[in-house]
Amino acid sequence: MNIQWFPGHMTKALRMMEENVKLVDAIGYVLDARAPLSCFNPQFRSVIGMKPCVFILNKCDLADPEKIELWCKHFAAKGLSYVKVTATASADAGRIAAVFAQVTSELRLKYQAKGVFRPIRFMIIGVPNCGKSTIINCLSGKKAVITGDKPGVTKGKQWVRLASGLELLDTPGTLWPKFDDENVACRLCFIGSIKDDVVDLCEAANLLIAQLIDLYPNCIAKRFGINCDDKSCEEIFEEIAVKRGFLLRGGDIDAERCAKAILDDFRKGKLGRITFDLPAD
């Protein structure tokens, strides 16, 4: 799957982040727990610089608990701050606030010693659709910023001030111009970071089937009530279409509709709790 496209507004967003990083004390780097490795944007290195950073593994309700633990161990071994959350669950706000407080504790003590009051500012960054805005709403306890189940919902920067004195900068999600690894491109597509209209959905659905058969061999058979043994991805795709009645007049399968349904099932967690990426050095 070759997506070599980089919309101009993402360059603009990256410049905005590079300018605004001077104003913040720390970074909240959001990763989708279903594909954390694919969510690392090589261009963010220049954004983060030397700022303290918290890695937020989000959408844990949709991800594989065992693999989430591997990621947590990985961050801990590297001495990195992290928190695993489900931002749509308001109960997780406290844990995010706690780790934010932890990485800025030195700074807050310094302010206290000087007797100055200054808000602590975090910039929230990540690929499109990983839940940045939802995390901000979770922390603020209300709908402070707009969220949506597709990429490109947050357009510009937006500051949100919390009662605790914390200030959060919401940013638009950005991708990078070229994906070196084919897996990264398709996993970003699976998790909805890449706009569906710039990819071939049928190809994406077939790649999703291939990866699922490899990593979670029973999940498709279980969800769609079909037998996947010794079948190719194309055969499985067709069986799903027939089983679900995604047929066109004349009896051909409605591939587009079938592809959308498979991707949608994955994105909504109906195929089970799935994580594609394992930590790597």
Ligand X SMILES: Nc1nc2c(ncn2[C@@H]2O[C@H](COP(=O)(O)OP(=O)(O)O)[C@@H](O)[C@H]2O)c(=O)[nH]1
Give the one entry of Mg ion, ligand X, none that residue 131 binds, where binding means its C-beta sits below a cut-off of 5 to 8 angstroms depending on kind. ligand X
C-beta of residue 271 within 8 angstroms of C-beta of residue 223: yes
129 is a site residue for Mg ion (CB under 5 A): no
Binding status of residue 65 toward ligand X by CB under 6 A: no
What is the greatest pairwise CA distance in the chain?
A: 78
Per the CB < 8 A criterion, the answer to whether 27 and 53 are in contact is: yes
Judged by DSSP in three states, 173 sits in coil
Minimum gap (Å) between residue 81 Cβ and Mg ion = 22
* Binding string, residues 149-188; x marks residues near Mg ion by CB under 5 A: -----x----------------------------------
Q: Which of the residues 125 through 144 are near ligand X (CB under 6 A)? A: 126, 128-134
CA angle 196, 124, 166 (to 5 degrees): 145
Angle between helices 132-140 and 93-103 (to 10 degrees): 100
Tell me how far, at minimum, the Cβ of 60 lies from ligand X, in Å. Answer: 7
**How many whole angstroms separate alpha carbon 192 and alpha carbon 265?**
12
Residue 61, binding choice from ligand X, Mg ion, none, Cβ under 5 to 8 Å by partner class: ligand X
Q: Which segment (103-111, 113-121, 123-131, 232-240) binds ligand X by CB under 6 A?
A: 123-131
Which residues 88-117 are close enough to bind ligand X by CB under 6 A?
A: 88
144-169 residues labelled b (16+ CB within 10 A) or e (exposed): bbebeeebebbeeebbbebeeebbbb
Task: Count Cβ atoms below 10 Å from residue 184 Cβ, excluding itself.
Answer: 20
Which one, 30 or 261, has the nearer CB to ligand X?
30
Any bridge partners for residue 26, and if so which? 122
Q: Does 153 bind ligand X (CB under 6 A)?
A: yes
Residue 147 sits in the site that holds ligand X (CB under 6 A): yes
| Residues 6+ away with beta carbon under 8 Å from 168 | 28, 121, 122, 123, 124, 136, 139, 140, 159, 160, 161, 162
* Smallest distance, ligand X to C-beta of residue 239, A: 28
Structure tokens at 20: 């605004």
81 binds, among Mg ion, ligand X, none (CB under 5 to 8 A by kind): none
| Rounded (to 5) percent helix, strand, coil in the chain | 45, 10, 40
By the rule CB under 6 A, 275 interacts with ligand X: no
**Tokens read off for 23:** 């104003």
Residues in 22-61 that interact with ligand X by CB under 6 A: 58-59, 61
Q: How far is the CB of 58 from Mg ion (least distance, A)?
A: 12
Contact status: 62 vs ligand X (CB under 6 A): yes
Query: Closest separation between CB of residue 192 and Mg ion, Å?
Result: 12
- Decide whether 58 or 211 has the Cβ nearer to ligand X: 58
Site residues for ligand X per CB under 6 A: 58-59, 61-62, 86-88, 126, 128-134, 147-149, 153-154, 173
Site residues for Mg ion per CB under 5 A: 132-133, 154
